[in-house]
Structure 1
Amino acid sequence: MAGTVNGRRGSQQGSIRKPLVIVVIVIAIVAILGFSYASPYMTLDRLKRAADARDAATVDQYVDFPALRESLKQQVTALLAQRLDAKSNGNPLAALGAMIGVALIGPLVDAYATPDGVAALLNGIPPRGEPGERPPAPSQTASSPATDVAPAPGGTTPPSTQPPQPPQTTAGYRGLNEFVITYRHGVGDTRYSAILHRDGLFSWKLSAVDLNGR
C-alpha cells in the first residue's frame, strides 16, 4: 500500500514538474531571442560612447578595421569618380584630377579608420573626399548645449554660435546578419549609412559604410 501511495505522489510531482520545465524553457528562449534582437542596438550605444571618449581599446572590440578600411576605400573611390565625371566634360585636366584624387584616398582612409574617424562616422560627419580631409577633433564631434549670445551694442544680435544640430538617425536590421544606421541632416540632404555585421550570436562589429545612403 505504501509503495502505491509513494508511486502516486511521484507521478503527481512528475506531472507538475513537466509544465514548470516547459515554462522555464519558453522563458529562456524568449529572453535569448530578445537579447539577440537588442544586441546591435546595445553594441551601437557602447561603440559610440567609446568612440566619443576615444577609448581605443573598446572601439577595437566593436570595429572590424580591415573590413572598414576596405569599405572606406571603395566608397571614397566611387565618390571621387562621381565628382570627376561631373566636372570633366572633356576637360584635358580631368586625368590629372583623377591622379590627384587617387593619391588622396590612402591618407583619407587611414585617417577615418581610427577611433577619431569612427566617432565622426557615428556623429553624422562622413568623409567628403576633400584634399587633406581628416576627422574633426574630439571637441567638434562631441555634442554640446547651445550657447546663449548676448545682443551686441546697438541692439543687434551677432551671428549664432550654436553647434550644428545632430543628424536625423534611423536604425534597423537589413537582413539577419546586417544592421544599418542611416544619417541625414535634413530633408533633401545626402544620406549615408554605417553598417554593422554580426560577429557571433550576440556580437556585432562596425565593418562598412555606404556614402550613397542606399
Structure 2
Amino acid sequence: MAGLVRMKGRVGRPLLIALIVIVVVAALGYAYASPYIALDRLKRAADSRDVETVNEYVDYPALRDSLKLQVTGLLTRRLDVQHNGNPLAAIGAMIGVALIGPLVDAYATPDGVAALLNGIPPRGEPGERPPPPPAARADNPAPNSPPTPAPASSQANANSNTPPQPPQTTAGYRGVNEFVVSYQHGVGDTRYAAIFRRQGLFTWKLSAVDLNG
C-alpha cells in the first residue's frame, strides 16, 4: 500500500509541474498579447460608439494632458515657420492658445478616440472637431443637406473606383509598460502615434499621443 502511494506521488509530481509550466506560459503569452487585444477592442468600441467600453480603455486625464502638450507644440512650430520675424506673431500665438482648450475637449472624447485610431489626428485648425466614426455617419446622415462638391483628387479616385486608402499602421512595444501605434498615410506624410500604457499586469489604456511624427 505504501509503495502504491509513493508511485502515485512520483507520477503526480511531474504532472503538477507540467500544469504549472503550461499556466505560466499561457499567462506570459496573454500578457504579451494584451496591448494588441486592448487596441482591437478599443477601436471596435470607438467605431461603434460603445462609450462604456471606450471609457474602460482610455485614461482621459492623461490623454488630455498629452493632447494639450502636443497641440501646443504643434501650434508653436507652425507659428515659428509662418510668422518668423513678423510683428503679428504674438497675436497669432494668442489665437493659437485660445484654440487649444476647445480642441483638447473635442478630442478627449469617444469620437476623438475613434478619429485618432482611424488616422485622423488633430491638426490645430480653428474650430476643428473630430469627424464622427464611420458607423455613426452611416446611421445618421445629415438631413436635407446638399451634396458637397468633391475635390478633384477625390473625383479622380471615384472615377477610378479606388477607395480611400487607410493609413499605414505599425504597432509594438516601446518598453515593458508602453505600447505605441504609429500611423502614416503615405511616404513622406506626417506620422503620429497613439500611446498605450500598462495599468496592472494585463490592463492597457490609451494615455497619450505623439504628433511630432
* C-alpha distance 163-112 of structure 1, shift in aligned 2 (>3 A): farther
Residues 67 and 207 in structure 1, CA contact (< 8 A), matched pair in contact too: yes
Aligned to 2:25: 30
Counterpart CA distance in 2 for 1:178 and 1:43 is 13
2:102 is the alignment partner of 1:107? yes
Counterpart CA distance in 2 for 1:140 and 1:105 is 28
Counterpart CA distance in 2 for 1:133 and 1:164 is 21
2:190 is the alignment partner of 1:160? no
Q: CA deviation at 1:139?
A: 3.4
Q: Match of 2:121, as an amino acid?
A: P
Give the 5 Å matches for 1:134-153: 134-139=129-134
2:181 is the alignment partner of 1:181? yes
Report SS of the residue matched to 2:157. Answer: coil
Counterpart CA distance in 1 for 2:16 and 2:59 is 40
* C-alpha distance 139-12 of structure 1, shift in aligned 2 (>3 A): closer
Report SS of the residue matched to 1:193. Answer: strand
Residues 47 and 134 in structure 2, CA contact (< 8 A), matched pair in contact too: no
Q: CA deviation at 1:55?
A: 1.1
Count of residue pairs the alignment pairs up: 194
Report SS of the residue matched to 1:26. Answer: helix
- Larger Rg: 1 or 2? 1
Q: Match of 1:105, as an amino acid?
A: I
Q: Match of 2:196, as an amino acid?
A: L
Gap runs ≥5 in structure 2: 139-154
Q: CA deviation at 1:89?
A: 2.1
Counterpart CA distance in 1 for 2:137 and 2:20 is 44
Calculate the TM-score normalised by the size of structure 2.
0.87
Residues 119 and 141 in structure 1, CA contact (< 8 A), matched pair in contact too: no
Aligned to 2:71: 76
* C-alpha distance 46-131 of structure 1, shift in aligned 2 (>3 A): same
Q: 2:12 aligns with which of 4, 14, 17?
A: 17
Q: 1:89 aligns with which of 66, 69, 84?
A: 84
Counterpart CA distance in 1 for 2:132 and 2:205 is 23
Q: CA deviation at 1:141?
A: 8.8
Q: CA deviation at 1:8?
A: 1.1
Q: Match of 2:115, as an amino acid?
A: A
Q: Match of 1:190, as an amino acid?
A: T
Q: Match of 1:159, as an amino acid?
A: A
Higher relative contact order (CA 8 A, sep 6+): 2
Residues 46 and 133 in structure 2, CA contact (< 8 A), matched pair in contact too: no
2:205 is the alignment partner of 1:205? yes
Residues 172 and 181 in structure 2, CA contact (< 8 A), matched pair in contact too: yes
Aligned to 1:153: none
Residues 49 and 136 in structure 2, CA contact (< 8 A), matched pair in contact too: no
Counterpart CA distance in 1 for 2:34 and 2:134 is 29
Counterpart CA distance in 1 for 2:89 and 2:135 is 34
For residues 21-68 of structure 1, the C-alpha deviation after alignment (integer angstroms, 9 at most, x for no partner) is 100000000000000001110110000000001111110000000100
Residues 65 and 113 in structure 1, CA contact (< 8 A), matched pair in contact too: yes
Report SS of the residue matched to 1:160. Answer: helix
Counterpart CA distance in 1 for 2:135 and 2:187 is 23
C-alpha RMSD of matched pairs (Å): 1.6
